[in-house]
Amino acid sequence: MENSRRDFIKKTGLATATIGGIGLGISSKSYARIIGANERINVAVMGLNSRGSSHASSFNKLPNVEVTYLCDVEDGAIKNGLNAVSGAARLPIIEKDIRKLLLKTDFDAISIATPDHWHAPATLMALAHGKHVYVEKPCSHNPFESEILIEAKNKYRKILQVGSQRRSFPSIIEAVNEVRGGIIGNPYLAKAWYTNNRKSIGYGKKIPVPSTLNFELWQGPAPRKNYQDNLVHYNWHWFWNWGTGECCNNGNHEIDCCRWFLGVDYPTKVTSAGGRYAFKDDWQTPDTQITAFEFGNEKAITWEGRSCNNFPIGEYDRGFTIYGDKGTLLNDGGASIKIFDENKKLVKEYSSATKAETTNLVSSTGDLDLVHFENFFESIRGNSTPTASIEEGHKSVLLCHLANIAQRTGSALHCDPKNGHILNNPEAEGLWKRKYEKGWEMKL
């Protein structure tokens, strides 16, 4: 019966469908081609050095979506964005200042793939100007920011999708349903990890800002710091003024999945061990971090991050494991899932390639991110709802922020299980919100 249902979905190209009971908005290309120009969504992309250029390229593959504006403050990044859409029938217009871009009325939505300190402020600005928003993870630089984004989404009544794309992967959705159906019994522990082989960033030299970069606008909401030569484009991740460390940068993905599979929301206790162990340089955030999140006396999540040693755990350099009292689930860091019974026998396996074929939604290269992007645009059209809502995005990024706060204060955090707020720890509570450059404060 389940196979027949999937065949029906695939052949008829329904605008929306559910797989295994959890809603996933999907639309077939054949359907989208005939819905007319009035269904076309014009989108801008902000932040183009890497991920944003991937956004622009992917959006161009979707029917009735047109990239009309590109926004960045650095000339090389703008070139990357233009190269990403070089095959488009009409090239997008360049606007370096997001404040000027948001005054324009001829586009509907914006995707934000900037450095972390810009994610929530740009999202708030865009919502206030009547734009739908796709914001990359982490959806906030600190807990306060994603809380205010929830309020803003409700106030301005626009679609807000978080870049936790695994929430749209059909294989993971189906596996969540299997776990909720009892295939591994009671899931009580989740373990996530991420490894890399990043090198030292050295000690940056204070040099004049390159003529190709508007560093004032690049800093935007963040308190002003001097420019140095080991900051732009990527190393800002490891400075607290602009970045959020590896836990928010990459751990966010697997931690989000762990929380999803366990069915938990806010923690009661958070601890973190680690530091900048591998090198001595300007890097401020941990390169080695082991965090633990407790949810009462019933469930827990751990995350291990090793930015500078990529020896895998098992066979995977990133991924997560869900432990139950009747079995175990293993993820490879992407869309592939294996489920084992209590005797370690493989009982079910989902491959990303198989799931991509059955959905008929991905590109010829099997780019599953397209499923998540399409969910965003179908939500704008009213045919679906975001699979990675800001409400869920906040709960997951909050775990990452709490891990960093525990690390920075050297304390075990006790939290209110109703909202995750820190209890009886003034030093830690002081990191719930950041200081902003004057005139850039986040306000509804």
* Residue 352 pLDDT: 64
pLDDT for res 124? 98
Residue 16 — φ and ψ, nearest 5°? -135, 155
Which band of pLDDT confidence, cut at 50, 70 and 90, is reported for residue 364?
A: very low
**What is the rounded CA–CA span in Å between residue 376 and residue 19?**
17
Q: Is the pLDDT of residue 367 over 90?
A: no
Whether a cis peptide bond, with omega within 30° of 0, leads into 394 is: no
3-state SS of 81-129? HHHHCCCCCCCCEECCCHHHHCCCCCCCEEEECCCHHHHHHHHHHHHHC
Residue 20 burial class via C-beta count within 10 angstroms: exposed 0-12, middle 13-18, buried 19 and up: middle
Contact 352, 366 (CB under 8 A): yes
Q: What is the pLDDT of residue 16?
A: 33
- Give the mean pLDDT of 351-376: 61
**At a CB cut-off of 8 Å and minimum separation 6, what does 338 contact?**
329, 330, 346, 348, 349
How far is residue 342 from each of residues 184, 325, 346, 431, measured CA to CA in Å?
Answer: 8, 8, 10, 42
pTM of the model: 0.90
Q: If pLDDT is split at 50, 70 and 90, which confidence band does 351 have?
A: confident
pLDDT for 38 equals: 60
Selected residue with higher pLDDT from 87 and 183: 183
pLDDT band for position 25 (50/70/90)? very low
Positive or negative torsion for Cα 291, 295, 301, 307: negative
Q: What is the pLDDT of residues 413-434, one digit of tens each?
A: 999 999 999 999 999 999 999 9
Element (H, E) at 192: strand 187-195
pLDDT of residue 14: 30
Collapsing DSSP to helix, strand or coil, 344 comes out as: coil
Identify the structural domains of the chain with CATH numbers, from first to last.
2-166 (3.40.50.720), 170-360+390-429 (3.30.360.10)
Confidence of residue 357 (pLDDT cuts 50, 70, 90): very low
Stretch 227-246: mean pLDDT: 98
Instruction: Answer whether residue 24 shows pLDDT above 50.
Output: no
Percentage of the residues of the chain whose pLDDT score is greater than 70: 88
Checking if the pLDDT of 17 tops 80, the result is no
Tell me the one-letter amino acid at 88: A
Q: Which residue has the higher pLDDT, 32 or 265?
A: 265
